């Protein structure tokens, strides 16, 4: 389910014109899903914790809101040891979409929320272009760890390795646990261009996310399916620019780049509507369009979700 391979990672050196171009590109993507007016109202609240299950993050990056980043203790460190590893590049990129400083070139959706780092991908010296993967058991453990450490939303982009009936049962139990605890799970749908579902996207509590282009159309390699179309969302996943570890502005494409746009929108809504229930927010962000029959999900509309909640909460 990882979005990135070397064929879709592009970088350009950071300079004044490059940063300005990145901000312009990202501003257009934020406008597409009407996140901009929501971001003008809030940059998040520290008591809204987002669990990032991904690679490690370059927490010393000058454009990250590092005061609001916390590592969940585990067998893998949350800080990058190899800045050039694909795991580090991926984790840092997604973290930038969520938690970069608003003055940076990254989307920087909710920098004042707390970002909980729970890496599941070990850094590797291998440069074969394949993103690391995790077993269902490892992923299940990471989900429970995030919940036990206070996450209210979990952002997930993970390729499953060594699938087994036992492992998928454990993963399903972890997803069931997140539902009981009212913790949102936002998951990239994957980039194999298939129609169907996975152990993650078929779970009724998960919000699957596909990638769309700059005009809102689904990108051909996004995985689609009945459960994805009924419960999921589409978000920007083409030529998104965020943070890197090497003094450059990386451009990624894929569903992993799209998922944090949805995660960030939910975090901002939770920050603004502190008395709203999980059900209130879930309905506002995924069900405003009514019953759906397509395998292609609706486009995220963050401002529509805000208006629905403002009305229901009498704000």
pLDDT digits 0-9 by tens, 56-97: 999 889 999 788 999 998 878 888 988 888 899 999 999 999
* Tokens, residue 24: 């312009």
pLDDT for 185 beyond 60: yes
Nearest CA to 184 among 158, 203, 163?
Answer: 203
pLDDT given for residue 2 in this prediction: 41
State the greatest distance between any 2 C-alpha atoms of the chain, in Å, as a whole number. Answer: 54
Residue 102: pLDDT band (50, 70, 90) is very high
**pTM exceeds 0.85 for this model:** yes
* Domain limits, the chain: 6-312
CA distance 30 to 33: 6
CA distance 74 to 24: 38
pLDDT for 148 beyond 80: yes
Q: Are strands 206-212 and 114-117 parallel, antiparallel or unpaired?
A: unpaired
* Tokens, residue 36: 């901009």
The edge-to-edge listing of strands for the beta sheet with 248-252 is 10-13, 248-252, 240-241
* Tokens, residue 193: 């261009």
Give the CA angle between residues 132, 197, 214 to the nearest 5°. Answer: 75
Query: What CATH code would you report for 6-312?
Result: 3.40.50.200
Mean pLDDT of 296-306: 97
pLDDT for 5 beyond 50: no
For 79, other C-beta atoms within 10 Å of its C-beta total 16
Residue 249: pLDDT band (50, 70, 90) is confident
pLDDT given for residue 16 in this prediction: 56
Q: 189-192 contacts: CB < 8 A, separation 24 or more? A: 189/1, 189/222, 189/223, 189/224, 189/225, 189/228, 189/232, 189/255, 190/1, 190/159, 190/222, 190/223, 190/255, 191/1, 191/2, 191/3, 191/221, 191/222, 191/223, 191/254, 191/255, 192/221, 192/223
Please check whether residue 22 is in contact with residue 243, taking contact to mean a CB–CB distance below 8 angstroms.
Answer: no
Mean pLDDT of 213-228: 95
């Amino acid at each position: 389910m990882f979005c990135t391979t070397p064929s879709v990672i592009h970088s350009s050196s950071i300079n004044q014109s490059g940063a300005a171009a990145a901000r312009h590109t990202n501003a257009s993507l934020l406008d597409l899903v009407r996140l901009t007016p929501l971001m003008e109202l809030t940059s998040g609240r520290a008591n809204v914790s987002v669990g990032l299950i991904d690679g490690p993050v370059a927490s010393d990056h000058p454009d990250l809101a590092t005061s609001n980043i916390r590592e969940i203790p585990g067998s893998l460190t949350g800080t990058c040891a190899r800045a050039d590893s694909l795991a580090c590049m991926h984790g840092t990129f997604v973290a930038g979409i969520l938690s970069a400083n608003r003055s940076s070139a990254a989307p920087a959706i909710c920098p004042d929320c707390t970002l909980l780092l729970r890496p599941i991908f070990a850094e590797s010296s291998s440069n074969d272009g394949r993103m690391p993967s995790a077993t269902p058991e490892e992923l299940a453990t990471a989900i429970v760890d995030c919940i036990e450490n206070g996450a209210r939303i979990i952002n997930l982009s993970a390729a499953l390795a060594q699938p087994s009936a036992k492992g998928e049962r454990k993963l399903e139990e972890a997803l069931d646990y997140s539902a009981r605890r009212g913790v949102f799970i936002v998951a990239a749908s994957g980039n194999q261009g298939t129609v169907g579902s996975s152990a993650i996207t078929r779970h009724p509590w998960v919000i699957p996310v596909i990638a769309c282009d700059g005009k809102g159309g689904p990108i051909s390699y996004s995985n689609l399916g009945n459960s994805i179309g009924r419960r999921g969302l589409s978000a920007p996943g083409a030529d998104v620019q965020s943070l890197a570890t090497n003094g450059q502005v990386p451009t990624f494409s894929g569903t992993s780049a799209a998922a944090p746009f949805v995660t960030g929108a939910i975090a901002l809504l939770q920050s603004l509507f502190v008395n709203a229930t999980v059900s209130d927010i879930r309905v506002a962000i995924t069900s405003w369009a009514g019953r759906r029959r397509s395998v292609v999900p609706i486009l995220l509309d963050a401002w529509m979700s805000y208006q629905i909640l403002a009305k229901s909460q009498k704000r």
